[in-house]
A and B are shown apart, each in its own frame.
Chain A
Amino acid sequence: MTAKTAFEFYTSSQLVEITSQKAGDLKEFREILKGIDESSIFYHVHHAFREHQFAPGVYTNDFAHWVEEEIGEHVLAERLANINIKDYTELGALRDKIVEILDGYLNQNPAGGTVPAKRGFYFCRAIGIVLKTRYEAWDYDEFCAALKKVGLRSLFFHFFEARLRLAKRSNDFSNWIKDNYGDEILAKKIEALDPYIYTMDQLRDRIIALVRKKRDGLIGRIFKWLKIR
């Protein structure tokens, strides 16, 4: 079934800016975090997803990584690593959650707030350059074929960046499916995929599998209908 509008695959390239904000301990870190630009939070929580992941077990968000490696507060690092960014469709809410975890930890461990980091945390932010790729899809088959070919950063753009930086409520794939096929169930299934469980390659394969299953179901129903006729 042909869609009303094609899904155009974009990708985003990044240039990383170093802000002037640097935290030397957890208290400073919390204070800076409260006021830092949202694009900084986006960068530190997401940039690992843009890269090919070959290192199992490494924390994906920079905050958890820094707390583990430079402060040595393992419990706090684990709590920060465990934030599911998919639960947050606004970066402000994600910031609040991180601050809440820090507050909780510092209330229980007030002395931990001033333990100097081996190396401070340097807040950065990414400038995103959005580029249209040569791939587009007019139906589920083309969608799966294109998604298989585009890079992880295209997947990243449509799955995370569009949702959080361009303030769309869901990922682009789910939006396209809802708008063109009215399929709320498939859209929700894709939205529910948890990138913390999957690598980006696996996430791509899961999306393709869900769409193919739907397409196969549609074809099956058409054959069944033709048979009855």
Chain B
Amino acid sequence: MAQNKIAEYSRFIRPQNFDELMLLAEKAAGKRVRMVNSTAVGGGVAEILTRVVPLYNELGIKTKWDVIKGSGPFFGVTKTFHNALHGIKSDISTEMFKVFQETTAANLAEMSFDEDVVIVHDPQPAGLIAAKERSKAKWVWRCHIDTSHPQADVWDFLKGYIEKYDASVFSTPWFARKLAAPKYFIYPAIDPLAEKNRDLSAAEIETVARKYKLDRSRPIITQISRFDYLKDPLGVIEAYKLVKRHNDCQLVLAGGGATDDPEGGQVLNQVQEAAKNDPDIHILLLPPYADLEINALQRASTVIVQKSLREGFGLTVTEALWKAKPVVASAVGGITLQIIHNFTGLLVHSIEGTAYQIRYLINNPQAAKKMGEYGREHVREKFLITRKLRNYLALLIALDHPNEDIIQG
């Protein structure tokens, strides 16, 4: 993958944001940072780390990225933890805690930390904090999921680790739990130069549409997501069927799998079963690195849907907004930060609401276009990778100035 240079981002953002990024980088330059997460491919965290790590290095922050090792049972456990943290009732056994502890211990035995700052992403590698005693680093836990209503046993178990961090970072204020150390919020972001978001030619879009036999003369409704119950792909099919009673249209459900999500196959089977009698429903299981295809599918779409039942931040919504697409999405998690109802998109709460708003957008292309334009501007200011880089640089600086409200540069 060709690496983009930081200067290339200046054309997407307002000059003040670019200037501020460079000033912060100057101040934080020389720091050594280690990022740790649980998967190198698939899912939003791996995707964003792939992009930001080289950029931090270019900005003078010496950044390394490690992925913890884990077996199938370990990722089964962490998937259950993930659901439980999202508030989905899950059966938890002491054996699960044991699997988590053993995998943590195995990883700890192979890792050492001599950086200035260690940023650990999500619960899977949270146990690495045990290495804090033998490192001089400041430790930050970066939580990408909504922990506002977690299942108590899982949270209590993980809290034992999380409380030892020097700081934690959440995607929004309401995802956070009470913790003694400082908690910050940093919105996630997308990379406008990534294969998934870069501008595409009409020919590139058409090639992908043809490959998947999409008829571009009729409306295309698309949800891009992993095949996961929390993304409610079955609910999207129901909504599509309601729309189809009034408007001829097609549905695309496209997504890949992540190595830390063992539930994906089961959900995909159910979705394929629900879609099997309708040739206008296109279920696309995309391989990793299908970013160009996802980009083209989003751009070929008339309406983008994100009907999640729970959501972390919902970067697929950000991607759609950046492409100036009208979006219909559930009012859950970080989606409500991105979609200002009736302005940058439409928020919904049910299958019926989803169908109703899709119909509205299909039948009102001018309103849909305007919404898409506002959505793109919203992302330009708030949800591009350069803003996120700024926030992390500010975090690196602030970690050296505990209890200071104003840090004089």
State the A residues within 8 Å of B (CB). Answer: 11, 13-18, 20, 39, 51-52, 54-55, 58, 119-120, 122, 124-125, 127-133, 149-154, 165-166
- The answer to whether A124 touches B185 (Cβ under 8 A) is yes
Residues of B within 8 A of A133 (CB): 19, 23
- The answer to whether A154 touches B397 (Cβ under 8 A) is no
Closest chain B CB from A24 CB (angstroms): 12
Q: B176-193 vs A: 1/0 string, CB under 8 Å? A: 101000111110000000
B398 contacts the other chain (CB 8 A): yes
Whole-angstrom CA separation of A51 from B382 in the bound complex: 8
Cβ contacts A to B, 12 pairs, < 8 Å? A13-B20, A13-B393, A16-B184, A54-B377, A55-B343, A55-B378, A119-B174, A122-B173, A122-B176, A127-B394, A129-B27, A165-B405
- The answer to whether A18 touches B170 (Cβ under 8 A) is yes
Whole-angstrom CA separation of A106 from B159 in the bound complex: 38
Residues of B within 8 A of A150 (CB): 16
Closest B residue, CB atoms, query A165 = B406
- The answer to whether B340 touches A131 (Cβ under 8 A) is no
Q: B395-409 vs A: 1/0 string, CB under 8 Å? A: 101100100111111
- The answer to whether A154 touches B16 (Cβ under 8 A) is yes
Main secondary structure of the interface of B (DSSP, over half): helix
Chain B contributes a number of interface residues (CB within 8 A of A) equal to: 40
B14 contacts the other chain (CB 8 A): yes
Whole-angstrom CA separation of A174 from B24 in the bound complex: 27
- The answer to whether B377 touches A127 (Cβ under 8 A) is no
Whole-angstrom CA separation of A149 from B90 in the bound complex: 55
B374 contacts the other chain (CB 8 A): yes
Pick the contact of B184 from A17, A132, A153 — CB < 8 Å? A17
B15 contacts the other chain (CB 8 A): yes
Pick the contact of A54 from B24, B27, B381 — CB < 8 Å? B381
- The answer to whether B182 touches A20 (Cβ under 8 A) is no
Whole-angstrom CA separation of A16 from B398 in the bound complex: 11
Closest B residue, CB atoms, query A122 = B173
- The answer to whether B173 touches A18 (Cβ under 8 A) is yes
- The answer to whether B174 touches A131 (Cβ under 8 A) is no
Closest chain B CB from A164 CB (angstroms): 11
